[in-house]
Structure 1
Amino acid sequence: MKATGGELGWLTWSPNQGDRSGRTLNGSQFYTYSICNVEEREQDNWLRTTFIQRRPSVSQVFVELQFIVRDCNSFDGASLTCKETFNLYSSDADADVGTAFRKGQFRKVATVAPDEITKKNGIRINTETKVVQSLSQKGFYLAFQDIGACIALLSVRVYYKTCPATTKSLASFPETVAGGLNQQLKKVSGKCVDNAYSEDLPHIYCTAEGEWVVPVGQCQCDAGFEEVEDACQECQPGFFKAEASRDKCEPCPANTQSQDSRSLFCVCMDGFYRALTDPVTGPCSGLPSAPRGLVATPNSLTPGKLLLSWQPPEDTGGRSDITYSVECHRWEGSQHLPCGEKIRYDPANTGLLDTKVSVSELDPYLNYTFTVEVHSGVSMFPSQPMPRSFKPQSSAALNTSLHYTGEYPPKITSMRLVERDSTSLSLSWDVFPRPRVQSQPIRYELAYRKKDNKIDVTTYVVLKLEKNSVQISDLSPGTAYLVKVQALGDDGNQGVSSLEEQFETLSEGTAVILAGVVAGVVTLLILIVIQLKPLKTYVDPHTYEDPNVAVLKFATEIHPSHISKQKVIGAGEFGEVYRGSLKAPGKKEVAVAIKTLKPGYTEKQRQDFLSEASIMGQFSHQNIIRLEGVVTKFKHAMIVTEFMENGALDRYLRDHDGEFSSHQLVGMLRGIAAGMKYLSEMSYVHRDLAARNILVNTALECKVSDFGLSRVLEDEPEGTYTTSGGKIPIRWTAPEAIAYRKFTSASDVWSFGIVMWEVMAFGERPYWDMSNHEVMKAINEAFRLPAPMDCPSAVYQLMLQCWLQDRAKRPRFGDIVSLLDKLLRSPDSLKTIADFDPRVSIRLPSTSGSDGSPFRSVSEWLESIKMSQYSENFTRAGVVTMDQVLQMKNEDIKNIGVRLPGHLKRIAYSILGLKDQTSTLSVFAV
């Protein structure tokens, strides 16, 4: 009505007609639909819009309302019949029904409550936006129902959201209507811009909020075109581009030119050429100049043999593929004849890479002409030859000798234990090269010391030896010694020292059995037991110089033909996630989740993507997500894992709030703890343990997943991993990890305590609506999350143990598994419930604020405790004010249709908290 300057002609239906009139506000005329029959009972007044045409692709619209509601307290004697809310309805229709109006055709959208109440003459305009969903016919009507309020409707704005037309990665995407409730992500295919190409059709997703996310695929400019501001532009003269790609046009290389635009390559300038094997994108080369300084040197030891040598050409034409050929002619009288096959060349007379060749089988007293030619890849014909004529002459023989000095002193190549007891060690070692029999014996220097990490000064005992073995005596029993050896030269120079190796003496009282083969076996077993040390079974793939090696070592390669994608179930950091199936040869078909790597990735992105598979592939436990394999040898990389039907634990619990017993919830926690115990025993820290990273299958088995932030611990029990930056999930992270960016298995235990709270609270957000800064401040001031509703006391006490400030006092995962097992074996231990404070455990924004103002409507209160699905139940039951809510008992809540135990208790506890806060009624017993 504001736009038209008059009323819209909407249909009204009411026992008492409402008012449609013009009013003046701040000097301006505006129109309203209004009604104010607050003193009459059983009001049922309707206002219906005209027919609103629907665009075929629009399934939901947003309705923005501006209205004024008068305070019921401003009417004398009307407080029992006065209301301060009205209802929004909608009705689908294939045609305009005119003035025909039937209430039964409309479905309720929402109860509209004001934020601002108008008191007497004051005007307070409210703005509310509601969503009308599941529209499917040619158009629709909106209707507004008044049940006894004094209300004026100023403005109704109806709109829908779209993702605007856009161009991304050279693909254009049309304007797209955003999806509705049942289609949060709408897949939209794109079209390459002019002069661009793509093997796979690019696509992108439009969110329900009208935003583009997760572009997949990209187009490439055709050959002769380059990308300029989301378009493909011709290569300019002097530039070229040989094939379709995202690359820019390149300037013509050396000795080439391009006269035209859109060039695929540049042609050679006059006097320059390309070889048949040269790329068309490369430079052109000139012909090499002639070789220089050809010299013939007769072999005085062998008559009829000489060495030809020469210098390379001054100008190679800019090429490196230079070769030489030698041609021989002999003079018989005045005839110049080829030398024929009799002449021998070493190594050959063509294709020479070196600037010399040996020629033999020459006849005495004949004149020969040798011509050396230089060639390159662009030599269509030889360059200027360099002739050299000479007459072989006989010469005296020369003797020569060759002296070789081997490597000395030799290196120590290996050291081994020959025998040992409690006070001595017998050792021997090998050397390379081995000394000749007639050579002088080698002398050695051996140094040994006790292995002691507590002292700063290291003291060695040094022995000089004449042979490659030794028995070291007077040692301490049951002690580790470090030994190194080096050889000594005749001149006193020392060779390279061997690596320091560790050997241990036997403990006192160790039995030594010397009875043939049995003695050897028993001794070997004793050595194994003594030298056995804990091994770190997990290998960090980031330590590999080539990450691809780690993937091949820890993950099974799957052929993509064995994988079938069925449905997109999400979008990850690197690309889409599908539900699909895997049918490996000789095995049953299984459901899997398939993570994909979107096209256009960098090599670092590919390595980061596959590193998670390198980690997962090392784990084998029923409570750790199982890696089925990877696809790395084909165009599209994939990670394939087992499929968990119920998805992430936090969302699953929110969707089934109140449906599970404490015993079932503790069983879920036991599975998570068992998975974390397995990881901690492998010296592995997760760093991002949260309910969102736990997956659930149909058997309600919980499995730890998402190893993107994980790193390995050092060998020491208190080893930590220090991050170099990046985001930390504050609400789940231990205080020492936040403060010092150091992570241990103990910090994972803190995170597990938060997961316990999430599970027992059915997916509630830890610390509710507190900011990260407020969370850190509260933890440092010793605040801990309160017990969730109906949480067993023993479970909450375990949470508090996980949240101890001193990480050394927190339980280990092995202890946690044992305690949870005891609780599951004794269900009675779960019957004692921890103290619950609804003022803290249920966040109520209006009542916990600084002003202490009460809720203005029942719907606002229900929304604050995430129970807004019951708004209509309360309205149907006539509970429309907060005073009526405060009068309700448990039976009243059940009678209006709240059946789930968890929901019943949440509403009841909230009412208890409201009563306690307002102090207007006695304690509410649950």
Structure 2
Amino acid sequence: VERCVITMMFFLPLTVLVCVVWFQWEVHQRTLNGSQFYTYQVCNVEEREQDNWLRTTFIQRHPSASRVFVELKFIVRDCNSFGEGTLTCKETFNLFTSESDADVGTTFRKGQFRKVATIAPDEITKRNEMHLNTETRYVENLSRKGFYLAFQDIGACVAIFSVRVFYKTCPATVKSLAVFPETVARGGEKQVLREVSGTCVENAESEEQPRIYCTLDGEWVVPVGQCQCKPGFEEAEDSCRECQPGFFKADASSSKCEPCPDNTQRLNPGASFCPCMAGFYRAHTDPITGPCSGLPSAPKDLEATSNHLPAGKLLLSWNPPEYTGGRDDITYSVLCQRCESFECKPCGEKIRYDPASMGLTVTRVSVSELDAHFNYTFTVEAHSGVSVLRINTTGLPFYPPRIASMRLVERDSTSLSLSWDVSPRQLVQSPSVHYELAYRKKDNKLDVTTYVVLKLERSSVKISDLAPGTAYLVKVQAFSSDGSSGGSSVEEQFETLSDEHLNKTGVILTSAVGGAIMLLLVIVILVLCRRSNSHARQGPEDAYFSNPEQLKPLKTYVDPHTYEDPNIAVLKFATEIHPSHITKQKVIGAGEFGEVYRGILKGPGRKEVAVAIKTLKPGYTEKQRQDFLSEASIMGQFTHQNIIRLEGVVTKFKHAMIVTEYMENGALDRYLRDHDGEFTSYQLLGMLRGIAAGMKYLSEMSYVHRDLAARNILVNTTLECKVSDFGLSRVLEDEPEGTYTTSGGKIPIRWTAPEAIAYRKFTSASDVWSFGIVMWEVMAFGERPYWDMSNHEVMKAINEAFRLPAPMDCPSAVYQLMLQCWLQDRSKRPRFGDIVSLLDKLLRSPDSLKTIADFDPRVSIRLPSTSGSDGSPFRSVSEWLESIKMNQYVENFTLAGVISMDQVLQMKTEDIRKIGVRLPGHLKRIAYSILGLKDQTSTLSVFAV
């Protein structure tokens, strides 16, 4: 969607464009394709040093539009059509812009404008024909209330037909049941996506607030946090509607309403579940979305057989019930009554059942310990998962709770730990059950019986203060909430351990521990002897790693490219992750092979962890897939706190992924640029120490990184730095710029050691050189090494012994370490173990960081000396501030009345602070630049140091 802020075509042109400096721009009426147009034109091609300006009126900016587009329609005449004598003729003109909070009228200062682009025609107008060109440019990072556009002619024959200024918006939309408002597309170099929060449509909800991103081109991308229709509602286009009668939806999801299951009632619209019909039930473990079940009928064909069985024993058998109620969790219980003199009583605990009397899943049970000459009545009942619901709601007779079994859990010389079970049938009918446990010593004095009685709420107990090596008889009785009891359990015998048994156990344990200690001492002695022998056998080729801190670990890096099948290397060194365990949340960048997401990894039995997810873009070849996964084969071999951790890979599915730990603060170079001047030298040194420790580990693994740079160091919230980017091996191309070429682009050589450039000698020593460049980047808060010098100039300067100067406020000891890393002779550079040791010493002695290395502001491009890039003195304060990338303070200087460079030279640090420069890094940059401006001797090139 394009929102026009101002349109300049053939109506009222004089109120739109104002000629404010030299009046060579004139208003003309032209005919093009039969239509009349007003144009602004200038054509002074025979005069030298043309500088003609045309400026618009004040254009008010929408508060959210930080990026606007400028569409130009114009014609430019061919210089060759003028004949001889027009050597100054040009065929281009320039577009400028200037921001302001108020309309300044006809006041015009060229120094307040910054260049946007040089406009060149696609087709040049010759004598007998006219070609209308259309070009669109954008102006970004706008922040003030409005702006002006200006057009500069430096000697062309040009006519401007129209100027259209507009901005783009992402239109109001509904995505995934979330409503997002119309949003102005804005952003810049650091922010290309604008996050927009939405709200769920009516009758929809989301666990997290829905979000989406608006691109600079006015397009919606990467929705996060899907809304789902509430229970009782289903998705219909971009809304949620009620479930129709006879349908239901139980949870918030994207699924459709389902028909009510069997044996349920059909309710009104919007049902979240369908209740059971009368006489049907759902068990507590049944899903609310499932059918309802009836009660099982009685078991069939109950028989009792005692033939060929010992006296006092019989076999009961029966057939399953004819109707199970639609369930398969049928169990059986057997009840026994003994009848004597026309009176029937429960059989008691003497009767034994095999396998059990409750919870039977088989249709037969053996009953023993029956007395002769008595009548026994056995009843078999069928139960299912819904039987308890019928019992609780119909008021059927209640059977008192009964102890089913008792068992010993643990014992020692003075205590017994016991537990027991209650008959399931009685327990469900009376959920409030308590117990009385009675115990006594077993002895031969039958005329005296003394019990200790304990009242308990739980079905377990620990009985203490008992005598060692003594047998105790224990029985338990269960009581329901109404006070009824199912009788006591059979008295069972348990015995405490004797002291003699404990003593023997103690002797055995003591002997075992002593033997283990002796075995451990023998192993330690053998290991030390073997290590001593291995040191003696070390050859001269190991001199680079010969000191104790540089000994190689047992594990050595294995190049995955040595495998005939690269997939084997991936399976060996990386963990396979199922895609269902990965949740993508937000696009955070684009890698060499596809997009990079922030997301969540939730594996089985693990907590959720934030991760970075590298994806492989569609349409890849098998070679690209193998190259993509090779980085995982490398990362999977490393385990160190300062090396980025590989969580796993996805290789067995269509979309391959590499999952690593998520580093919240991103790449180190950009993070430092965004926080320029906010960290002390001590904090920066701590970051470098972490990087050095990671590189020490890699060198000990015999791995050469080859691309160590601040852009490949990641930072988390605790400012811990980790080495990343273990991509493909690089091949040095024979070209003047001398860059390494990969399938993803070229890597600049300004981080690469001279011998690696000249002879392809990649070693840990060349990584040390790169580490020195990283040190410079960190201490310079992300400044680009060698500034705007070309690769050819960098190589020439290094060969002529030039080294980067010390950054501002860099401790002298740190800069000296940089210079050691940049020694031409690679054998004389420090090892990473030496670097870690030195950084540790500096961190333990903060006073050693107080001595600052000499800093010459005339050398650094970020702090120019007395002139601009062309060698001439700065003509305005705004030009000077723009050269040191501090143009955001132009208004501060203007409001303070500092409008000339002479006034700038008189300023002190306190003066700079008073006009509103508060950030320490910005304060130092401006102050040191003024220091360089005061030295009027000469302009020094970077090669003159």
Mapped to 2, the partners of 1:186 and 1:522 lie a distance apart of 61
User: Which secondary structure state, in structure 2, belongs to the residue aligned with residue 161 of structure 1?
Assistant: strand
Mapped to 2, the partners of 1:671 and 1:757 lie a distance apart of 34
Mapped to 2, the partners of 1:668 and 1:524 lie a distance apart of 34
Q: 1:704 aligns with which of 723, 734, 743?
A: 723
Q: 1:155 aligns with which of 147, 162, 177?
A: 162
Mapped to 1, the partners of 2:29 and 2:128 lie a distance apart of 17
Change (3 A) 1:836 1:153: closer
Match of 1:324 in 2: 332
Match of 1:795 in 2: 756
Q: Is the 8 A contact 2:51 2:152 kept in 1?
A: yes
Match of 2:95 in 1: 88
Bigger shift: 788-797 or 14-23?
788-797
Instruction: Report the Cα offset of residue 285 of structure 1.
Output: 1.0
User: Number of paired residues?
Assistant: 585
Instruction: Report the Cα offset of residue 66 of structure 1.
Output: 2.0
Match of 2:668 in 1: 646
Q: 1:267 aligns with which of 275, 283, 301?
A: 275
Match of 1:194 in 2: 202
Instruction: Report the Cα offset of residue 48 of structure 1.
Output: 3.0
Change (3 A) 1:80 1:164: same
Instruction: Report the Cα offset of residue 152 of structure 1.
Output: 0.3
Match of 1:132 in 2: 139
Q: Within 5 A, what are the aligned runs for 1:640-679?
A: 646-647=668-669, 676-679=698-701
Mapped to 1, the partners of 2:338 and 2:220 lie a distance apart of 83
Mapped to 2, the partners of 1:271 and 1:696 lie a distance apart of 64
Higher helix proportion (structure 1 or 2) = 2
Instruction: Report the Cα offset of residue 151 of structure 1.
Output: 0.9
Q: Confirm or deny that 1:305 pairs with 2:313.
A: yes
Match of 2:605 in 1: none
1:87-143 CA-to-partner distances (Å, cap 9, x unmatched) read: 32334455556x634336851333533144434344333333333334344433323
Instruction: Report the Cα offset of residue 575 of structure 1.
Output: 1.8
Instruction: Report the Cα offset of residue 797 of structure 1.
Output: 3.0
Q: Is the 8 A contact 2:95 2:119 kept in 1?
A: no
Q: Is the 8 A contact 2:668 2:713 kept in 1?
A: no
Question: Match of 2:260, as an amino acid?
Answer: C
Q: Within 5 A, what are the aligned runs for 1:878-889?
A: none
Change (3 A) 1:345 1:677: same
1:136-159 CA-to-partner distances (Å, cap 9, x unmatched) read: 444333232334321100221211
User: Which secondary structure state, in structure 2, belongs to the residue aligned with residue 796 of structure 1?
Assistant: helix
Q: Within 5 A, what are the aligned runs for 1:312-351?
A: 312-329=320-337, 335=342, 337-341=344-348, 344-347=351-354, 348-351=356-359
Mapped to 1, the partners of 2:770 and 2:240 lie a distance apart of 63
Match of 1:176 in 2: 183
Q: Confirm or deny that 1:70 pairs with 2:77.
A: yes
Question: Match of 2:115, as an amino acid?
Answer: V
Mapped to 1, the partners of 2:164 and 2:691 lie a distance apart of 49
Question: Match of 1:619, as an amino acid?
Answer: T
Match of 2:447 in 1: none
Match of 1:438 in 2: none
Q: Is the 8 A contact 2:596 2:612 kept in 1?
A: no
| Structure 2 alignment gaps of length 5 or more | 1-6, 393-518, 535-552, 559-568, 579-585, 601-608, 615-627, 649-658, 675-688, 775-789, 797-861, 875-935
Q: Within 5 A, what are the aligned runs for 1:423-438?
A: none
Mapped to 2, the partners of 1:695 and 1:156 lie a distance apart of 45
Mapped to 1, the partners of 2:697 and 2:129 lie a distance apart of 63
Q: Within 5 A, what are the aligned runs for 1:95-494?
A: 100-103=106-109, 106-116=112-122, 117-181=124-188, 183-298=191-306, 300=308, 302-329=310-337, 335=342, 337-341=344-348, 344-347=351-354, 348-379=356-387, 380=390
Question: Match of 1:795, as an amino acid?
Answer: A
Match of 2:462 in 1: none
Match of 2:37 in 1: 30
Instruction: Report the Cα offset of residue 232 of structure 1.
Output: 2.6
Question: Match of 1:24, as an amino acid?
Answer: T
Mapped to 2, the partners of 1:822 and 1:225 lie a distance apart of 63
Mapped to 2, the partners of 1:786 and 1:576 lie a distance apart of 28
Mapped to 2, the partners of 1:259 and 1:162 lie a distance apart of 46
Q: Within 5 A, what are the aligned runs for 1:33-72?
A: 33-41=40-48, 43-72=50-79
Mapped to 1, the partners of 2:772 and 2:575 lie a distance apart of 46
Question: Match of 2:167, as an amino acid?
Answer: Y
Instruction: Report the Cα offset of residue 626 of structure 1.
Output: 7.2
Change (3 A) 1:672 1:767: farther
Q: Is the 8 A contact 2:77 2:125 kept in 1?
A: yes
User: Which secondary structure state, in structure 1, belongs to the residue aligned with residue 596 of structure 2?
Assistant: coil
Instruction: Report the Cα offset of residue 36 of structure 1.
Output: 1.5
Mapped to 2, the partners of 1:614 and 1:227 lie a distance apart of 46
Change (3 A) 1:797 1:355: same
Q: Confirm or deny that 1:12 pairs with 2:19.
A: yes
Mapped to 2, the partners of 1:124 and 1:90 lie a distance apart of 26
Mapped to 2, the partners of 1:229 and 1:154 lie a distance apart of 46
Match of 1:620 in 2: 640
Instruction: Report the Cα offset of residue 167 of structure 1.
Output: 3.1
Mapped to 2, the partners of 1:63 and 1:192 lie a distance apart of 36
Match of 1:883 in 2: none
Mapped to 1, the partners of 2:758 and 2:241 lie a distance apart of 68
1:468-492 CA-to-partner distances (Å, cap 9, x unmatched) read: xxxxxxxxxxxxxxxxxxxxxxxxx
User: Which secondary structure state, in structure 2, belongs to the residue aligned with residue 143 of structure 1?
Assistant: strand
Q: Within 5 A, what are the aligned runs for 1:555-634?
A: 573-575=596-598, 595=611, 619-620=639-640, 624-625=643-644
Match of 1:915 in 2: none
Change (3 A) 1:648 1:366: same
Mapped to 2, the partners of 1:900 and 1:249 lie a distance apart of 76
Change (3 A) 1:645 1:127: same
Q: Is the 8 A contact 1:256 1:283 kept in 2?
A: yes
Instruction: Report the Cα offset of residue 214 of structure 1.
Output: 4.1
Question: Match of 2:640, as an amino acid?
Answer: S
Query: What is the RMSD computed on CA atoms of the aligned residues?
Result: 6.3
1:542-594 CA-to-partner distances (Å, cap 9, x unmatched) read: 67999799xxxxxxxxxxxxxxxxx99869734279xxxxxxxxxxxxxxx97
Mapped to 2, the partners of 1:35 and 1:275 lie a distance apart of 90
Instruction: Report the Cα offset of residue 296 of structure 1.
Output: 0.9
Question: Match of 2:366, as an amino acid?
Answer: S
Match of 1:440 in 2: none
Match of 2:405 in 1: none
Instruction: Report the Cα offset of residue 271 of structure 1.
Output: 4.3
Mapped to 2, the partners of 1:264 and 1:279 lie a distance apart of 13
Mapped to 2, the partners of 1:327 and 1:697 lie a distance apart of 68
1:148-179 CA-to-partner distances (Å, cap 9, x unmatched) read: 32110022121112233333333222222222
| Structure 1 alignment gaps of length 5 or more | 383-516, 550-566, 578-592, 599-607, 630-636, 653-666, 708-731, 734-749, 776-784, 803-812, 825-834, 842-866, 879-894, 905-926
Change (3 A) 1:642 1:114: closer
The percentage of aligned residue pairs carrying the same residue is 50
Question: Match of 1:646, as an amino acid?
Answer: L
Change (3 A) 1:597 1:255: farther
User: Which secondary structure state, in structure 2, belongs to the residue aligned with residue 124 of structure 1?
Assistant: coil
Change (3 A) 1:287 1:689: farther
1:59-79 CA-to-partner distances (Å, cap 9, x unmatched) read: 221112122222334335653
Q: Is the 8 A contact 1:21 1:31 kept in 2?
A: yes
